[in-house]
Structure 1
């Protein structure tokens, strides 16, 4: 017998030694920090995927080096690497409320940098050569290719990573922020490889003309890295938002779940075409006009939407978890701590001081599972629950229960330290564990 709350299904009743009878057998393991499970078949599938991406990396980097020359390749590689940590950190920050598994993020970046870049360069080259042959006008072919072909090919290639994550890592793709973060990592990877090509080519062409190559590389760096580092992420984020809206839609809205991702992909192609077309047909003045009047406002709007979605996630946690606290699964102060980024940080810091890195890692895992539980319940309350809701709920509660003795007091301390809730000291939330004993 459980309790209701938040308009969703009943919360399972808490017991000191609960029985998780609906949980999948694959998830019935007791908590041990950082246990390797490499012998499972999942490792084999991951190995095959890594091998394919590595082959794509070797091929695309060899093609880029052939076009830029060895020296140009090294210059392009060095300059293209500079914005990558900043961009990844920005998207990682946006996704801090529910940290995504690093494997998914690494896949998104690698797909964009190697698989999507390889498909794009081969398809774009073939299309431009075909147009040049058909029209006998190489200049026109380059402009048409950049404006009409490249946006379709490149956005489709990048979107493939998002659709793969959406269908095969569905439990980690639940809303708008997920779409933005995965799209950002994929597009940053793609822009990284593309920037190597453009920066290296600019350097090599100036050197071939008798110059040092520095001036052309610097000018290209200013336009592509300083002025528009978020260009590719901005395009691909539209596809991510479409998938994010589809993930939030109730299961009965099948048309919406199909139309929104397609609409997002089409919008990303249209924005990409406008950006490329402004450089190909409107000249420098038109390029800066489109940049200032369209790209900057669009980027500002999407940034606002993403930050708003991030705050909405925190509000969702504060509403969805109290029923579990009322049932006894969480301490009374935990929902407030879990919906405050500062309280989470205070909890991890306290756990690290009290129990070392292992305790801090347990708190981080507990926070991730609790956040997933909140979003799972929120989807159920909106009629968008997955068929395995009960099994997934028990799985998350099981993982939380195994970390409760360590994470619960730390989060209660974090809530008090961050001012998220009033907790009069001294207190003992769990027998034998005093959160003030450091």
Structure 2
């Protein structure tokens, strides 16, 4: 296997000796039917592989995390049930769960280009729902009691706790989940979209537990005073927290996630930037959270609706646009980086355009499933995942953020693609042509081995 430097995809130039990562990134040239992978690491050290069965995972770490979160969940259950009562807890649980599938589906949709494992997302949700919520309940209660004792003014203590203490404590507790994923699941944390998704799942879990508490207390108040119907406290709380602002907590924490996303995109030598960017995002999240809470506790209903219309809705729209733009940017990265590998012989010419279209990728999996069954569809899905990771890895190398093990990681991914190319390459070529993203030959010609017009 020789190395070519691709300045322009149509004109690969051979390069002798080691090639630095900075500047035009070298591409291994496939010059044989069975290429060698001399720089690839040993199989036991591979970082990219199909998802393994759960019984082959790192059980010790998994058991420790699950045990910690389970203990937090039990304590949260006891605390919330103690405050709301059994009936209030069940009512709050039933109402609080309603926005959760919608929010989780929206954030998962953003992550479709390079979807990470569900275990990372479930960890983020569980951390927000159990660990972060437990820290917030205990810390907020302690701080409010301490302020009330020190100032002898319980009313001002509640106001100060809601506008100052709660945003700092809650956003810090939620940010801990994003930090853990950034440190220990770094290969799944590649940019803005990953930061937004992890933050969104964490905040969705936190809001879920908080809504149980608020809705359960509201139901208990209605039971005490005999209120029912649309005029009840439960209905008003449900409207404000679930109908009007289900995105409030995700909106706050997404700012922290964006900070971590920018830090993930920073070059490897910029350590100060990797620290300052997440801190900036966290401070912005705290500030927006404090503004939101202060409008409800200090300014009254008019201030609340003014902040909602003038700040929260535009901020939500801006962050939604940013998230969608980041996803489209990921697809453009794929279409911009993979043609170099097509020029070197690793991919068919139509594959980069198919891999940069979510519709074509889905069509390729469906075509493989119809033709050869579910195992073939799974192989095509793995091929798409590895090719996407390869494009992002090459993009990071172009920006100087890939690290010294870039050649080994690149050849490891090429090895996985080579193993699946017999099924995946024709399926992606067919999908590119069927969706109009690549030139389609007349009906009487084969589609690289597949002709849907031939019986």
Within-5 A mapping of 1:267-416: 267-416=284-433
Aligned to 1:427: 446
Q: How far did residue 16 of structure 1 move?
A: 2.8
Aligned-partner Cα distance in 2 for 1:102–1:270? 31
Aligned to 2:92: 76
Q: How far did residue 363 of structure 1 move?
A: 1.3
Q: Does the C-alpha gap of structure 1 residues 304 and 428 become closer, same or farther in structure 2, counting only changes over 3 Å? A: closer
Aligned-partner Cα distance in 2 for 1:369–1:134? 58
Q: How far did residue 5 of structure 1 move?
A: 2.8
Aligned to 1:238: 255
Q: How far did residue 34 of structure 1 move?
A: 6.4
Q: How far did residue 276 of structure 1 move?
A: 0.4
Q: How far did residue 28 of structure 1 move?
A: 7.3
Within-5 A mapping of 1:77-116: 77-116=93-132
Q: Which residue of 32, 56, 77 maps to 2:72? A: 56
The DSSP-based 3-state class of the residue aligned with 2:227 is coil
The DSSP-based 3-state class of the residue aligned with 2:400 is coil
Q: Which residue of 79, 82, 88 maps to 1:66? A: 82
Q: How far did residue 44 of structure 1 move?
A: 2.2
Aligned-partner Cα distance in 2 for 1:50–1:367? 31
The DSSP-based 3-state class of the residue aligned with 2:212 is helix
Aligned to 2:19: none
The DSSP-based 3-state class of the residue aligned with 2:235 is helix
Aligned-partner Cα distance in 1 for 2:368–2:439? 20
Contact conserved, 2:257 with 2:281, CA < 8 A, in 1? yes
Q: How far did residue 32 of structure 1 move?
A: 10
Contact conserved, 1:8 with 1:378, CA < 8 A, in 2? no
The DSSP-based 3-state class of the residue aligned with 1:421 is coil
Aligned-partner Cα distance in 1 for 2:181–2:74? 24
* Worse overlay, 403-412 or 183-192: 403-412
Contact conserved, 1:337 with 1:415, CA < 8 A, in 2? yes
Contact conserved, 2:227 with 2:233, CA < 8 A, in 1? no
Q: Which residue of 223, 244, 254 maps to 1:227? A: 244
Q: How far did residue 388 of structure 1 move?
A: 2.2
Unaligned runs of 5+ in 2: 8-22
Q: How far did residue 21 of structure 1 move?
A: 3.4
Contact conserved, 1:245 with 1:260, CA < 8 A, in 2? yes
Q: How far did residue 362 of structure 1 move?
A: 1.4
Aligned-partner Cα distance in 1 for 2:335–2:402? 19
TM-score normalised to structure 1 length: 0.94
Aligned-partner Cα distance in 1 for 2:370–2:220? 53
Unaligned runs of 5+ in 1: none
Q: How far did residue 27 of structure 1 move?
A: 4.8
RMSD: 2.0
Aligned-partner Cα distance in 2 for 1:232–1:172? 23
Q: How far did residue 211 of structure 1 move?
A: 3.2
Contact conserved, 2:434 with 2:440, CA < 8 A, in 1? no
Aligned to 2:434: 417
Aligned-partner Cα distance in 1 for 2:253–2:107? 13
Aligned-partner Cα distance in 1 for 2:148–2:54? 53
Within-5 A mapping of 1:163-178: 163-178=179-194
The DSSP-based 3-state class of the residue aligned with 1:12 is strand
Aligned-partner Cα distance in 1 for 2:168–2:451? 56
